Amino acid sequence: MGEFVKLAFGLGTGVQEARVPKEDLLDVLRANEVPAGLTGEAEVRRALAEPIGSPRLGEIVRPGERIAIITSDITRPMPTWTVMPALLEELYAAGVRAGDITLVFALGSHRPHTQEEMRRLAGERAWNEIACVDSDPADCVHLGVTAAGTPVDITRVVAEADRRICLGNIEYHYFAGYSGGAKAIMPGISTRQAIQCNHSMMVRPEARAGALEGNPIRMDIEEAGAICGIDFILNVVLSEHKEILRAVAGHPVQAHRAGCAFLDRLYRKELSQPADIVLVSQGGAPKDLNLYQTQKALDNARHAVKPGGVIVLIGSCREGLGERVFEEWMTTSPSPQAMIERIGRDFQLGGHKAAAIAMTLEKAEVWLVSELEESFVRSIFLTPQPDVQTALDRAFEKLGPAATVLAMPYGGSTLPKIVGS
């Protein structure tokens, strides 16, 4: 064979490499180049000084008001520690006391944090100056119901605050369209029942990655945010290396849309054809701690693989499946088809990701390079592979030496779109 291209994929805190024949490689999906501007904390300060569709934060808050800042938990790459100093300075300059500010980690349906995890997420300054707490789905206040019937039940410390500021990173989300914006409220700090009601619309075709207009889940999220009341957002778009490339601040919908438009310039990737073999990774830790999180990369890869092809999913999954209901569905369902049939009549949060994996399995085989036991991987309808190179070699054996390959080293971020589809 001729020339090879060496590719690297994050797996946990390590790297997996593979050599792909150059003539078979369709593309390596990475971020597009964007005009250089401010990055990191300097970009956050610029965004706070130039809010979109909103006055500056210092003109919204008043001394004596209780301020809740809602941010992402440890399963998300949001660099809360980078944005908090500038945010605190803006609040303090407006006369807000540190004792009136609470940083709330939005757990959604995820596990609580350890004290050390909270400290790391908050950053030393916020940890030392203000209260930092996890959201508590067992202690919520009922604020209303959306048009779709989703109860707006919000963790008490946020519901009872005078002002609510939502943080988050904007990336593609496989049925909410994009993360960020009001998603910090719903599902971030809601009850399991509310999240379940919202997410039950995932089976609708309009609920898909990169879709905003007419997406029933995104519309429901923003209605829940409006019922709860969001005074200001500060969202960031990250590079492949988790650096802040763009920050947007201000109105919960207008600023969010500006961030989504920037994300599209960066990560939406147009392809002329699907591939026989897709090599996809979440990019390593912390995004591949469990299969529940790693599934995001798999769902994006589904848009790029030919029917009957092979997706090689690369993710550590060292914490296992990562969610109780997801685990129950994956380990007790008799077949992938049974999971899709079940989600239609019995929507369950956690089960929704199992059904999403099953929908991918209807289209292509999924081979998993992970730290999970081989027998366990087989039991959940995936094919274990020891490393990426072996998996690629076996995929060529199965599909022939002329099989085409697409690489997605940051699969949770890059969204392939086949032109004309």
pLDDT grade for 109, boundaries at 50, 70 and 90: confident
The residue among 30, 33, 8, 29 whose CA lies nearest residue 20 is 8
- Among residues 266, 285, 315, the one where a domain terminates is 266
Contact 175, 207 (CB under 8 A): yes
Q: Find the mean pLDDT for residues 331-355.
A: 90
Q: Which residue type is seen at 228?
A: C
pLDDT of 264-297, one tens digit each?
Answer: 998 899 999 999 999 999 999 989 999 999 998 9
Tell me the three state secondary structure of residue 288.
coil
Quick check: 316 and 396 in contact, CB under 8 A?
Answer: no
Q: Helices (DSSP H) in 123-273: which residue ranges?
A: 124-129, 156-159, 192-199, 216-228, 254-267
**Domain check: are 240 and 382 in the same one?**
no
Same domain, 45 and 14: no
Residue 354 pLDDT = 96
The beta-carbon contacts of 390-395 under 8 Å, at least 24 apart in sequence, are: 391/279, 391/312, 391/367, 392/18, 392/20, 392/277, 392/279, 392/312, 394/367, 395/276, 395/277, 395/310, 395/312, 395/367
Residue 97 has pLDDT above 60, yes or no: yes
Q: What's the pLDDT at 75?
A: 85
Distance (Å, whole) CA 361 – CA 215: 24
Residue 421 pLDDT > 70? no
d(CA 85, CA 88): 5
In a domain, 34, yes or no: no
Structural domain total, the chain: 2
Q: What is the pTM of this model?
A: 0.82
* Last residue within a domain, chosen from 266, 295, 314: 266
Say if residue 239's pLDDT is above 70. Answer: yes
Reference 185, options 138, 147, 148, 218; nearest CA is: 218
Are residues 235 and 341 located together in one domain of the fold?
A: no
Q: Residue 156 is which amino acid? A: R
Decide if 110 is catalytic: yes
Q: What is the CATH number of the domain that holds 332?
A: 3.90.226.30
Residues 66 and 192 grouped into a single domain: yes
Whether 173 is a known active-site residue: answer yes
Rounded distance, CA 298 to CA 311, Å? 8
Residue 358 has pLDDT above 80, yes or no: yes
**Average confidence score pLDDT of the chain:** 95
CATH assignment of the domain containing 211: 3.40.50.11440
Residue 339 maps to a domain: yes
Question: Residue 384's domain spans which residues?
Answer: 4-29+270-416
pLDDT computed for residue 295 by the predictor: 94
- Do 298 and 179 lie in one domain? The reply is no
Percent of the chain with pLDDT over 90: 86
Residue 34 pLDDT: 79
Distances (CA, A) of 7 to 184, 281, 300, 363: 35, 12, 19, 25
Task: Pick the range with the lowest mean pLDDT from 106-110, 315-319, 333-337.
Answer: 106-110
Percent of the residues in the chain that have a pLDDT greater than 70, as a whole number: 100
Q: What is the rounded average pLDDT of the residues 249-270?
A: 95
Residue matched to tokens 């699969």: 411
Predicted local distance difference test score (pLDDT) of residue 413: 83
Question: Exactly one of 113, 142, 173, 352 is catalytic; which is it?
Answer: 173
> Does residue 49 sit in the same domain as residue 180?
yes
**156 plus 302 within the same structural domain:** no
pLDDT score, position 118:
98
Cβ proximity of 280 and 297 under 8 Å: yes
Q: Which one of 110, 251, 256, 303 is the catalytic residue? A: 110
- Is the pLDDT higher at 413 or at 5? 5
In this structure, are 179 and 46 located in the same domain? yes
Cβ of 62: how many Cβ atoms within 10 Å?
12
Residues 255 and 296 in one domain: no
Q: Does 421 map to a domain?
A: no
Q: Are residues 304 and 216 in the same domain?
A: no
